[in-house]
Structure 1
């Protein structure tokens, strides 16, 4: 009888537990679970519910003592990713939920940026699963593909095979395009993702967000990640003003809502602030100082990727150099070395830039030279190209061309970029190293992979000019023919070809029978006369303005310029406006026979009859005579006047009033 009572009590408690779980009241749920475990301590389902409640209440350490899979998940949530993965990979480790174990392992691999193993795990999970979470796994798979693409641009996967069912999938596809540097296409995808999210919110998600008590500001925060990525694409396309406006709008939204987007995602704030500082560079340092402080928040450190953290520290070091905070710079440089020991090139670059900022070229040169001495026995790696190019810049400023040429020659073997080849070409030409220049042209410009690259045309032009100037017309013809294949025939190219052929094969130049490949619809083996491609003499003469050439200030000087008559200006067709002339007003005493004064146009003070007026301003100035002795003056006695007594005042006589007639 008691067992039946216990079972009914447990059943009632589970019903109550279900209601509390639906309402999200996990504290009360814990009390109900404790009652169930008090009745039956080994109740497996109750233990599982207890762990779920502890996880929902963020009490991960307490939850980790119950089940191993859940313990690994708690370690994962506590950012002990390596420990969690080590436990999951133990050979004796078994779990009732093998599928959940593989899912957690894939997430841990993603957080550790081990994208290759993570990709394999998700492919296996998708093959072997047919449940409600399949769509979410495709979202995670596209995120892994974007990570793989950022590490290796040659990685290929058919993204079209994954349907654009959710805005997250479209967003991750846009991230893949960004990793491939297709920014314009990525902007279109991001706009599509934003549109799908907005529509979904209006139709489906409205009820969900209302039930959870979310506000419209939180929806804007969800969209902020898409908008931040959109702004980054604009920044990479050199639309800095538009990108800056979008970044500031995201930060403004954060300040209005008092949330950290999602709504406690400081990682996005760090990325946005870092990108704003990158746009400002060494300008607007006051705003950059505020933004860099917002970016360096500890809460974002666990959520940023290694590359993002590296860029953040790198930019902060550059900011400290720009604001001349060198003591703090040295402190953060040591921190940079400790946190990113593999980024050796970056530390040398930053330290050298500090000397370069102070215009201490020798100090910067010593830092970079030290790096080259360490790697003296090995070829430069693609990640070290920036260091060597910085060193080349310093050497060029000090006119050390031979050392420059040696470094650039090694770089060409590692990464034969046209910009590096062009710089080496100019250095060889400046130092008159013709043999090395010819080897450079043979080794790089005449390669098959460069024969279909239009950007090689300027270098081929320079090579043709070099060969023509050094009496090697055959080699010049080879360069010109390559340009014809890439660019097509132009009168200038044809004339250069004829000129080069005339130097070693006059008969061929005379007949104008040079084979030129036809493009598109034309037969490749056909012959065509170059003479037909050139304009006729009549066309050239008609297109030349002889008068303009004669009137131009050419090299012989103004003396030899033909004087031309003033040509009347072209007037507009229409009725000519007649201006009325004013009638001349002559003086009254005008005498037409009298000879006018020849000095009438001169100023008055320059005329011969001019007499200067006396200057009255000097009156009263200067000495006015000597002061003599004043004789003593004695006052004469005054005449005594008899005193007058007081007068008697009589009353004044009043005037009579006038009276009117009666």
Structure 2
């Protein structure tokens, strides 16, 4: 055996020893020695890639794989895809996994499922995990169940009405319970979600205590559960409680940058336009680059959206204008959000015409409107209504297509616009199309009856009793023979078919039946005309019980010293100062005696009577101001 082969065998045995002890840095040095002897040794190349991955040197591992020739590189597509995944190049990782040279083994399918989850392709991800659970038989079933529950939560966040059986997934770990709680959050059942999160907290705490974790480690692991409870409280309007929990979590030494970013964003949302100094610090924490790769696209959109709103609220309009292109480039599928921010920014800058133009350009170009497009359309409708542009409003709402039929409030606005602009034919078409849409989509009985009733009233007001009868008959089929509906039918038939109206009169209840249904005692009650709201209920109290009158204790009079009881009574005003007593008399002022003229009278001219003044309208009362006294001349002393 050549010397080189002996050396390689010895080095591999040394490599095995370092692998068992987990000393991958020392193992890497050994592998490099082997590769110096044989650079194309496939086993040694594989060992080097594994060592670099274990040391989190993903860039180095990827460069090393790509430096190999095509023949060697095709054996390491899984490792290459994993390095791309860890470097957040998720699209490249998936492309690598979909290559023809990738083996269809468990590891590749596991990585593919995780990659599909990261790019939020939840439908394919769900199928991948179902196949993995069926075809695997190892110790990682609990982890796959946790991931499957997380995928279902992702699906419910997109469509809350989607039905997936979470109950079949056992509560084997606290992560599964947490994910089930998140599914309840997605369908806005916050009270149930809090109860489920509290269960997850108990299971997590017990598991970590049994595992010998420190209190700091336990609190760090519980932080995400506490944050989700705080979010539920925030959504239920308990903002003070939520804010307190968020701040307590941020005081801990958290290692998850995504959790810090989401909590900071939620605090900014609670503050709104208050406490702007704290919001400024929190929004910077939320925009951390380290957190971005670990957040969902929805979370990232919300953070950047709130950042734009924060800049508008702090009157940093120029900065907001600069950030909008960044928002559009990062989230090209969220143009509606960008349009809403831009329009709101123009409103704040008092440029309403530009806001209307921005919204019009977007709303009238939408082909398949969504809920967020509806927000933009309603914003534009509000602005146009303020300008009394009814035709413009109608055009915007009509552009929503069939989507408008799912919102009865929009249908109601359109009907009012058509009635004001005298477009009766358009109103009739709207009623008919809306009712057809709800019948086709099997809407609830209450919605259909409400629509039929409004349509019947509308056609009756337009003097079209035949159309009114058509919808009233549908109500009778759904609801039965209601006296109010029968009376409306009689009224409608009487306009074009008197015989039918007379025959329907028999279906109305008789006078005796109506009288029997009336409660005479209730009518005779003296308070009925005021309504139940104004009648006060007085509790019955036993009349025999009477409160005993408390005896008033007399205060002992304080008498002066050396008081003679046989003499006159003491003066009651003796406590007051002398100048405040009723018998006090002020001394006369004698300062002016001997001053002024002493009685001499001069010749007086003849005084003629003055003429009568002309009558004027009385003026309002004036304040009497004290006349200014002349200052006395003071000589030098």
- Given that 2:346 and 2:355 are in contact with CA atoms closer than 8 Å, whether structure 1 keeps it comes out as yes
Corresponding residue to 2:98 among 86, 89, 111 = 89
- Aligned-partner SS, 1:161: coil
2:50 maps to 52
> Which residue of the other structure, out of 567, 573, 578, is the alignment partner of 2:543?
573
The question of 1:440 aligning with 2:439 is answered no
Counterpart position of 2:14: 13
Select which of 448, 454, 464 maps to 2:446: 454
Structure 1 pair 18–199 and aligned structure 2 pair: CA distance change class (3 A): same
Aligned to 1:121: 128
Q: Whole-Å Cα distance in 2 between the matches of residues 276 and 488 of structure 1?
A: 53
Matches within 5 A, 1:421-500: 421-431=411-421, 433-445=423-435, 447-448=438-439, 452-454=444-446, 466=458, 494=483, 497-498=486-487
In terms of mean alpha carbon deviation, does 159-168 or 31-40 score higher?
Answer: 31-40
Q: What TM-score, normalized to structure 1?
A: 0.68
Provide the C-alpha distance between the structure 2 equivalents of 1:134 and 1:287, rounded to a whole number of angstroms: 44
C-alpha distance in 1, partners of 2:365/2:431? Answer: 31
- Equivalent residue, structure 2, for 1:296: 287
CA distance in 2, matches of 1:286, 1:185: 35
What is the match of residue 523 of structure 2?
Answer: 543
- Aligned mates of 2:247, 2:428 — CA distance in 1: 53
| Cα distance between partner residues in 2 of 1:475 and 1:239 | 50
Q: Does 1:186 align with 2:185?
A: no
Residue 453 of structure 1: CA displacement? Answer: 4.3
SS where residue 222 of structure 2 aligns? helix
In the TM superposition, residue 619 of structure 1 has moved relative to its aligned partner by 7.7
Cα separation, 2, equivalents of 1:190 and 1:240: 18
RMSD in angstroms over aligned alpha carbons? Answer: 4.2
1:135 aligns with 2:133: no
Contact persistence 1:382–1:415 (CA under 8 A):
no
Query: For 1:345-384, what aligned pairs fall within 5 Å after superposition?
Result: 345-372=336-363, 374=365, 378=367, 380=369, 383-384=372-373
**535 and 118 in structure 1: CA distance in 2 versus 1, 3 angstrom threshold:** same
Judge conservation of contact 1:454–1:487 (CA < 8 Å) in 2.
Answer: no
**Match status 1:272 vs 2:263:** yes
Indicate the residue corresponding to 2:387 in structure 1. 398
Equivalent residues of 2:324, 2:338 under 8 A apart: yes
Deviates more, 1:316-325 or 1:119-128: 119-128
1:166 to 168, 173, 182: 173
Shift of 1:404: 1.6
Q: What is aligned with 1:420? A: 410
8 Å Cα contact 1:422-1:459 kept in structure 2: no
Give the SS at the match of 1:165. coil
Change (3 A) 1:386 1:499: closer
Cα drift, residue 355 of structure 1: 1.9
Deviation at 1:271, TM superposition (A): 1.3
| Partner Cα separation in structure 2 for residue 476 and residue 282 of structure 1 | 51
Change (3 A) 1:238 1:614: closer
Please state whether the residue corresponding to 2:79 is helix, strand or coil. Answer: helix
Q: Is the 8 A contact 1:244 1:276 kept in 2?
A: yes
For structure 2, the residue ranges without an aligned partner over 5 or more in a row are: 66-75, 495-499, 532-539, 550-584, 599-637
Provide, for residues 186-225 of structure 1, a one-character-per-residue CA deviation record: whole Å limited to 9, x for no partner: 334333322322232233x32xx4xxxxx32222222222
CA 1:575 to 1:472, structure 2 compared with 1: closer, same or farther past 3 Å?
farther
Pick from 66, 72, 79 the counterpart of residue 70 of structure 1.
79
**Distance (Å, rounded) in 2 between the aligned partners of 1:438 and 1:458:** 16
Structure 1 residue aligned with 2:219: 220
Quote the Cα distance in structure 1 between the aligned partners of 2:209 and 2:586. 99
Report the CA distance shift for 1:618/1:245 in structure 2 as closer, same or farther (over 3 A): farther
Q: What is the CA–CA distance in structure 2 between the aligned matches of 1:70 and 1:538, rounded to whole Å?
A: 83
Structure 2 distance, partners of 1:340, 1:473, is: 53
CA contact (8 A) 2:11 2:30 kept: no
Secondary structure of 2:519's partner?
helix
Q: Which residue of 2 aligns with 1:201?
A: 208
How many residues end up aligned between the 2 structures? Answer: 535
Change in Cα spacing, 1:7 to 1:298, as seen in structure 2 (3 Å) is: closer
User: In structure 2, what is the Cα distance between the partners aligned to 1:188 and 1:197?
Assistant: 14
Q: 1:37 to 1:454 in 2, by over 3 A?
A: same
CA distance in 2, matches of 1:140, 1:426: 50
Contact persistence 2:174–2:204 (CA under 8 A): yes
1:415 alignment partner, SS class = helix
TM-score normalised by L of structure 2: 0.71
Q: In the superposition, relative to structure 1, how do residues 540 and 194 fare at CA in structure 2: closer, same or farther (>3 Å)?
A: same
> Which is worse superposed, 418-427 or 147-156?
147-156
CA drift at 1:387 = 1.8
The equivalent of 1:409 in structure 2 is: 398
Distance 1:501 1:243, change over 3 A: farther
Q: Do 2:265 and 2:282's aligned partners in 1 also have CA atoms closer than 8 Å? A: yes
Spell out, residue by residue over 1:342-372, the C-alpha distance to the aligned partner (whole angstroms, 9 max, x if none): 3222222211111223443322112222324
Partners of 2:522 and 2:528 within 8 A in 1: no
Q: Is the 8 A contact 2:178 2:225 kept in 1?
A: yes
Q: Distance in 2 between matches of 1:394 and 1:480?
A: 37
Deviations 1:245-268 (A, max 9, x none): 3333322xxx23x3x3xx2x2111
CA deviations over 1:363-411 (Å, ceiling 9, x no partner) = 2112222324545xx4655552222111111111112223222332343
Distance 1:544 1:429 in 2: 44
Q: Which runs of 5+ in 1 are unaligned?
A: 210-214, 515-528, 552-569, 580-612, 627-662
Q: CA deviation at 1:317?
A: 0.9
Shift of residue 334, structure 1, vs aligned partner: 1.5
Contact 1:13/1:36 (8 A) holds in 2 = no
Q: CA deviation at 1:303?
A: 1.5
Residue aligned with 1:159, SS: coil
Label 1:35 to 1:618 Cα distance change in 2 as closer, same or farther (>3 A).
Answer: farther
My pick for the range that moved more, 346-355 or 67-76, is 67-76
Q: Does 1:151 align with 2:158?
A: yes
Quote how far apart the aligned CAs of 1:441 are: 3.2
Query: After superposition, where does 1:621-632 map in structure 2 within 5 Å?
Result: 624=596
